[in-house]
């Protein structure tokens, strides 16, 4: 549903328990001096680098809020434990594609992260609302990516697969046959390093959009 109210509930995008990775002091004016479509780099106090990408926030005419809910089906555990009984704790991240016109490079910037659901291959993630300006620069045909991850208690979270999509495609693929509609679901896939094999990692059922 493309609602026109101004509510933007992204309480699941981050958590008070998330660790602080570092910080940097920068003036807003310094950021705004950047050319549109050019990426800036800042060194963090604890080491590492923060990349800031400045672009026009409104690039289309599709205004409103996306009211969405996604269910996962058959989320694949790619590293099972003893006797194949390992758990998968899946969550998804939506990112939007931006092109650095100066460098000729492309990056994806995260705009929403779901909560992770413990030990389940068919998760129901919570509904969420996100403003179209933040999600897709008011252009429902702007390229997005949905990436599915397996949360790890120790070490880095495990990448499972991804799906390139758009808001328009998500709206077209809203489930018509209930919450297990595999026919309308988006396919989350992983491609081999050589690119000759594609492994289906999960199905994403769009319950509403």
Query: What CA dihedral angle connects 139, 141, 143 and 147, to 10 degrees?
Result: 100
Average pLDDT over residues 167-179: 97
Predicted pLDDT at 31: 67
Count of positions (residues) in the chain: 209
| Six token digits for residue 111 | 């705009």
pLDDT for 37: 56
User: Which tokens in the block code for residue 51?
Assistant: 């990349």
Q: pLDDT band at 50, cuts 50/70/90? A: confident
pLDDT for res 6 = 42
As a whole number of angstroms, the distance between CA 206 and CA 187 comes to 11
**Would you give the distance in Å from CA 33 to the centre of its chain?**
28
Start-to-end C-alpha separation, the chain: 5
- State yes or no: pLDDT of 9 exceeds 50: no
More confident residue, 31 or 203: 203
Across the chain, mean pLDDT equals 84
Position of tokens 């705004």? Answer: 32
Q: Is the pLDDT of residue 93 over 70?
A: yes
What's the mean pLDDT in 98-111? 80
What pLDDT is attached to residue 8? 43
Segment 81-96 mean pLDDT? 80
Model confidence at 11: pLDDT above 50:
no
CA–CA distances in Å: residue 41 to residues 19, 24, 37, 107: 21, 11, 13, 14
Percent of the chain with pLDDT over 70: 79
What is the predicted pLDDT for the residue at 131? Answer: 96
Whether residue 27 is predicted with pLDDT greater than 80 in this model: the reply is no
Residue closest to 12 by CA, chosen among 118, 85, 86, 111: 111
DSSP secondary structure string for all residues of 126-175: PPEEEEHHHHHTT-TTS-EEEEEEE--SSSSPEEEEEEEE-HHHHHHTB-
In this prediction, residue 18 carries a pLDDT of 65
pLDDT at 209: 95
Instruction: Indicate whether 25 pLDDT > 50.
Output: yes
Position 110 scores a pLDDT of 94
pLDDT tens digits, one per residue of 130-150: 999 999 999 999 999 999 999
In whole angstroms, give the CA distance from residue 151 to residue 80. 14
DSSP symbols for 28-97:
HHHHHTSPTTEEEEEE-TTSSEEEEEE--S--SS--SEEEEEEEEES---SS--GGG-----EEEEEEEE
Which of residues 153 and 177 earns the better pLDDT score?
A: 177
Dist CA 12 CA 207 (whole Å): 18
| pLDDT range class, residue 85, cuts 50, 70, 90 | low
């Amino acid at each position: 549903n493309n609602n026109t109210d101004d509510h933007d509930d992204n309480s699941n995008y981050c958590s008070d328990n998330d660790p602080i990775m570092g910080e940097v002091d920068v003036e807003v004016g310094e950021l705004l001096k950047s050319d549109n479509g050019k990426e800036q780099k800042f060194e963090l106090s604890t080491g590492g680098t923060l990349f800031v990408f400045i672009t026009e926030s409104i690039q289309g005419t599709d205004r409103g809020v996306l009211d969405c809910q996604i269910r996962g089906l058959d989320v694949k555990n790619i590293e099972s434990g003893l006797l194949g009984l390992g758990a998968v704790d899946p969550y998804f991240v939506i990112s939007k594609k931006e092109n650095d016109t100066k460098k000729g490079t492309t990056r994806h910037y995260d705009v929403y992260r779901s909560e992770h659901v413990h030990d389940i291959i068919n998760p129901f993630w919570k509904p969420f609302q996100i403003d179209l300006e933040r999600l897709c620069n008011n252009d429902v045909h702007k390229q997005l990516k949905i990436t599915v991850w397996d949360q790890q208690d120790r070490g880095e979270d495990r990448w499972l697969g991804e799906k390139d999509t758009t808001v328009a495609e998500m709206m077209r693929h809203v489930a018509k046959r209930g919450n297990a509609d595999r026919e309308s679901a988006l396919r989350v896939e992983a491609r081999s390093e050589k690119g000759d094999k594609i492994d289906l990692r999960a199905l994403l059922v769009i319950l509403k959009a």
